[in-house]
Structure 1
């Protein structure tokens, strides 16, 4: 048999093998056991996250000879037939090449026939967003009321292109990007089962390059194995993925921080001579600076690091560099990245950015300003000793002189670095509607995906722990789990301009954004609720005018008030 790629050999054959999508697999398993199977499903999410694999597993599970089961047995004749494609009851269609009205009409004519071997006839339509408007219209009625023996499973990477009339007829499951940790664990298992030795750091490099797609990760691993043989090392992974080694990146960042311009330029030239892409290098520098800032501010968030592993060299840089300097680096690098995308001289912009960063003015630290001159300190001590002798001579107790000799230092309390606009947030809460916040939440995943497609992954990383919590007709409140993420996001003009623009494309409404850290959000919301509950004038809470009018019309006995 001809050689098969790793992602085909190790394609998941049961729900337990689908990595990083427990919120989907658990729901489907419960539905299988309880025999609450829907007539239509929509699987949406980025490429290589297991949508088509989950569809085939579901098709096997509903038709398994031992059903109802939460996992297909993969041993019975039907499971084996669906796996090798020999059973005609499971029909896989590629909407990219079968997107016309005639193909859908053919499906519509054939769904009425009973399955040949299994209990259900399952249609799996991949990349369903490629169907033409006429094909979608032809599918509508059949999708809404198919025969009892038919199940439709639609898969897509762009759910925003599917008509709402189709989406409303399906149970929707959103597949998310797989974390680098989960991808690394799965690749390690596959490498061991395949008898291939792969360094741990090489697996991390491949996982981060895959950007959340298991299929991409296995393709890169396959390529690295072909390149290196039976033992994949870090250099092999760097060569295959085109990535930049952490040691090289650390040396470059250290040269910039040390203001060693010749060394920084030499490091860049060596990387470019090795064939590294300038755009990839500038993005790695942004992510490295971001990881430095996060590690310096919150070391316990080590799992949130996007680009680096926290080795000794990285920790040493994080301890010495100032946060204000990292803010400056990220701002300059972001601006340079935008200029490089619109220029034919990307290398020149990269070199100019390196010179600008390595020669930038360092922020002054308060510690240096607080250290007095040594001679002044000696003079002050001598003066205090003279005053102490005079006090002793006049009979004043030594204990009374001690507070003057050694005044207690006032402890400086750390001030919050970001203050959310409480007044604007309360105004949003006062005019908030359920429809607006529901509309934003429903399209939030699509907005993040759109930002990723626009090469804004470094900005999207700030929104991983963010959540829309309230919205009026023109503004919404975005809650951040960590204050540092909120500060970085709200001070980034590119991010605050891009989010409302993409949401306007998805929802038809322009919403400006207000960021708030989680702890401040809880205080502001609690304060707002208390203000709403406070009595007015005579000490009694004022009743809603609509309720008061209804009470006049029908009386209190017939009035049932529900929140």
Structure 2
């Protein structure tokens, strides 16, 4: 019985021309070979499955090939065949993950003292070179800088930032990029034709998407699917074998999320749970789907070529009904849920809670939700005065709630079952920084009653200046990051309304994150002006 080889080993590229998606690198190496300017040390970097080890082996053969063809190995001569069979003593591949000590590098240095026995060059391929210890890297430095003329080092790593700069500077560095999706699909389609297997384009798109630009991963996934499918591979079979969500289930759940139907979302999620679905995989599928919706809303379908046709039709239909903000809102919530689920003791419950919160937030922020809140206020005997405000080049309605008084409208929060204490009305002409500070706790209570999150942010500021109807609030310099949150439109609305309720006027409010030098002097001046008449005292 013949030894079985995995697809990625059976169809490993044998020449530079067979390497997929790395034309810049392979052409550079071909030019070096053509001009006999081969380097003594190379560093191949890039993510897994992009061709680093394959290119290393091709290079080791072509520099030693007896009959090269167009600067590629012939793969037929005695040297090429011995390297392909791993029987050539002059080409050594070392795994730095398991041979990472100083003694291993010392043994390597002893071996390279002897010239090649049957080849032109000795080639040392060190895979996962970033796993070498600090002592091993130091032991390699001198040899790497001045190797014998017959020696070529090829270092490969997926984490180049862990390789010391002293090593990198002694090598020619080549960065292997993720392989283009269309090139991967074309290659696998050709391979399936060679294997006499019929395969759906949607199935190949799914495999490519899951492989994340790694050809080895893609071939491993394809082999897994073919082991079940036999001679015909459909999208449904591929999705089932690879543990992905069925298209119909995924789109139905996604529509329930967008509609805000909590009961339907929970029901569908429990179905996935009963089927043994991994919650992290389900969230990942939803994230991919809503990311595609966001891209379609902003950039069209040019960036969605890897999606199955059924998903593409669904996204096109939903984007015609919902704007990009809706896709972004759901996508952000799913990203947060993905993080929480990873560390939750009950992942599915955490996921269901995230779905419920997502719906609640959507209702709170939507126009329908705001209208519902205003109607509730009006039913409680509070009059809503709507003023049109320009926002993003369109008119929206911003509601200001006021209670009708005998002589003027005094801003206040709607009564939610408990009577609010009447606020003291200040004459705008008597309002000073000192008065504001004396009544600051009362003002903060008014903010807290309106929105607790705004109150939490306002606890980090203090009034430092009040001149010509302009109030400056100083934010702790160590908390500058909070400034955009405080200046958020919703928060500023509550801040201003609470001030108007407490002091009876609406100043221009500015948040600053630096100290005012004359703040103390203004306080002293204000204090003395309140004691005596301004005409009898000159304050300098």
The CA deviation string for residues 293-323 of structure 1, in whole angstroms up to 9 with x for no partner, is 1101221532477898753222111211122
Mapped to 2, the partners of 1:49 and 1:183 lie a distance apart of 11
Q: Contact 2:68 / 2:74 at 8 angstroms: preserved in 1?
A: no
Deviation, structure 1 residue 273: 2.2
Deviation, structure 1 residue 181: 2.5
Deviation, structure 1 residue 415: 6.6
**In the alignment, what sits opposite 2:188?**
187
The CA deviation string for residues 117-157 of structure 1, in whole angstroms up to 9 with x for no partner, is 22111111111112222221111111111111110001111
Mapped to 2, the partners of 1:415 and 1:165 lie a distance apart of 56
Deviation, structure 1 residue 352: 1.9
- Residues 51-66 of structure 1 mapped to structure 2, 5 A cutoff: 51-66=52-67
**In the alignment, what sits opposite 1:118?**
119
Secondary structure at the aligned position of 2:266 is classed as helix
The CA deviation string for residues 388-439 of structure 1, in whole angstroms up to 9 with x for no partner, is xxxxxxxxxxxxxxxxxxxxxxxx99879xxxxxxxxxxxxxxxxxxxxxxx
**In the alignment, what sits opposite 2:354?**
353
Q: Contact 1:209 / 1:243 at 8 angstroms: preserved in 2?
A: no
**In the alignment, what sits opposite 2:322?**
321
Secondary structure at the aligned position of 1:331 is classed as helix
Q: Contact 1:48 / 1:216 at 8 angstroms: preserved in 2?
A: yes
Mapped to 2, the partners of 1:138 and 1:2 lie a distance apart of 39
Structure 1 residues 143, 48: closer, same or farther in 2, change over 3 A? Answer: same
Deviation, structure 1 residue 248: 2.3
**In the alignment, what sits opposite 1:20?**
21
**In the alignment, what sits opposite 1:283?**
284
**In the alignment, what sits opposite 1:33?**
34
**In the alignment, what sits opposite 1:364?**
367
Q: Contact 2:205 / 2:307 at 8 angstroms: preserved in 1?
A: no
The TM-score with structure 1 as length reference comes to 0.62
**In the alignment, what sits opposite 1:9?**
10
Q: Contact 2:293 / 2:319 at 8 angstroms: preserved in 1?
A: yes
- Matching of residue 331 in structure 1 with residue 332 in structure 2: yes
- Residues 90-489 of structure 1 mapped to structure 2, 5 A cutoff: 90-299=91-300, 301-303=302-304, 311-359=312-360, 360-361=362-363, 363-364=366-367
The CA deviation string for residues 320-358 of structure 1, in whole angstroms up to 9 with x for no partner, is 112222222122222222221221111112112223334
Deviation, structure 1 residue 23: 2.4
Q: Contact 1:49 / 1:178 at 8 angstroms: preserved in 2?
A: yes
Mapped to 2, the partners of 1:143 and 1:193 lie a distance apart of 43
Mapped to 2, the partners of 1:318 and 1:280 lie a distance apart of 24
Q: Contact 1:256 / 1:354 at 8 angstroms: preserved in 2?
A: yes
Mapped to 2, the partners of 1:251 and 1:70 lie a distance apart of 55
Deviation, structure 1 residue 67: 4.4
Secondary structure at the aligned position of 1:63 is classed as coil
The TM-score with structure 2 as length reference comes to 0.64
Deviation, structure 1 residue 160: 1.6
Q: Contact 1:55 / 1:153 at 8 angstroms: preserved in 2?
A: yes
Deviation, structure 1 residue 8: 0.9
- Spell out structure 1 runs of 4+ moving beyond 4 A: 303-310, 412-416
Any gaps of 5 or more consecutive residues in structure 1?
369-411, 417-511, 513-563
Structure 1 residues 58, 414: closer, same or farther in 2, change over 3 A? Answer: farther
Mapped to 1, the partners of 2:242 and 2:332 lie a distance apart of 27
**In the alignment, what sits opposite 2:495?**
none
Q: Contact 1:99 / 1:131 at 8 angstroms: preserved in 2?
A: yes
Q: Contact 1:250 / 1:314 at 8 angstroms: preserved in 2?
A: no
Q: Contact 2:205 / 2:308 at 8 angstroms: preserved in 1?
A: no
Q: Contact 2:247 / 2:311 at 8 angstroms: preserved in 1?
A: no
Q: Contact 1:205 / 1:238 at 8 angstroms: preserved in 2?
A: yes
Mapped to 2, the partners of 1:246 and 1:132 lie a distance apart of 47
Structure 1 residues 183, 309: closer, same or farther in 2, change over 3 A? Answer: farther
How many residues get paired? 372
Structure 1 residues 200, 95: closer, same or farther in 2, change over 3 A? Answer: same
Any gaps of 5 or more consecutive residues in structure 2?
372-389, 395-480, 482-540
Mapped to 1, the partners of 2:33 and 2:267 lie a distance apart of 60
Secondary structure at the aligned position of 2:216 is classed as helix
Mapped to 1, the partners of 2:22 and 2:218 lie a distance apart of 16
Mapped to 2, the partners of 1:159 and 1:309 lie a distance apart of 40
